[in-house]
Structure 1
């Protein structure tokens, strides 16, 4: 049995505009991972805000990648505000939290690893979507 303790739990947080195509989300993901030399196989799960529960692009991306997609409420995400690299007033107006991608990534990495998480890729914006990657050891 291999020891996985050295491998951080990596989680991708995603935010997107309504109707954002899966191709856009996938392009953003591939680009971010390549830039940071992270293998897609290292990503354990995807996270977003519960307002996006019905978003076809997110659901399709999770299906393509065969990864779980978890959702958090704005209340759950609000606690991560001090760790955000970027605070979006528009995001706050629309969702009640200042950064969906970063907050969701942190929240899920922390939940899965039962340990404090940190942002490894801060908010990347691309067309209609935002992405962040958090890890917890």
Structure 2
């Protein structure tokens, strides 16, 4: 997640600086940029360039600033509102699909504030269908149906997940077993459903949830054991709350194509690995990747795990876990649009 923090007062700026320092240490936060004052000038840019905007200011200023920019719960960024004294963190926009509710709880814990969340499913301890989709990195084909399904869940109705019988959906079953929010579901298995889809059904209504491709990028020292790479990967996906059955592909650079630890990991997890050509890595540009001069001096490329993950995830993909080191192993995670 890429986050912009904007403040208007000197006191709010202090809160912003403190919060940035805490968020920078979180591998699931790709970058944090600070902005101060000039709210009318900054907001039109922040709204489209970042996954989340944290506004440290009066709610009136925030609401008037974002009102002309709001378009859709599918595309709007998460917006949080914090008061100058950092007493409250309010989930203001895109609570579910944008991740504002989850980020609100994270930020409130970091600055010892009270989280304020008002979405009906959350306050009634029910699992919204958009929350499930966001947590499992699934796209929703018909967002207009979200309201119908969430109302049905609030009213205790049973919804059906229709799945291809040949698809491993352990990640969905694990999620439903572990989630603390209530939802009544049944399962049906239909061979004509695509293996990367889950159809959500009730009465004559349907939502199609489709897997966004999740790619784990791997870099490692020569001869690194499979167990060490595995441990790094498991730590990474645990911090993302992703089951290993949800990972679609592993990736690395072609210079690692004979690396036994990576090949053994692919076989152990039954997940294919893509070794990206050096030329593609040399040409790849992204402001989000961490450049390594050491790697460049040896191989002529600025990185392995982040660019290979982004290239493998496809055009317009983004990082959801930045390059993190684990004793000679580096892991990143990218997701398709």
TM-score, structure 1 as length reference: 0.90
1:133 is aligned to 2:333: yes
Counterpart of 1:116?
316
Counterpart of 2:265?
61
Deviations 1:44-79 (A, max 9, x none): 010000011110000000000101111112221133
Counterpart of 2:236?
32
How many residue pairs match? The answer is 132
CA contact (8 A) 1:47 1:71 kept: yes
1:107 is aligned to 2:307: no
CA contact (8 A) 2:218 2:251 kept: yes
TM-score, structure 2 as length reference: 0.38
Counterpart of 1:82 in 2: which secondary structure?
coil
In structure 1, stretches of 5+ residues that fail to align are none
In structure 2, stretches of 5+ residues that fail to align are 1-192, 199-207
Q: Whose radius of gyration is greater, 1 or 2?
A: 2
1:14 is aligned to 2:225: no
Counterpart of 2:282?
78
Deviations 1:12-57 (A, max 9, x none): 0101110001011000000011111111111101000001111000
CA contact (8 A) 1:109 1:136 kept: yes
Higher relative contact order (CA 8 A, sep 6+): 1
Distance 1:125-1:81 versus aligned 2 partners, 3 A rule:
farther
Coordinate RMSD, CA, aligned: 1.3
Counterpart of 2:229 in 1: which secondary structure?
helix
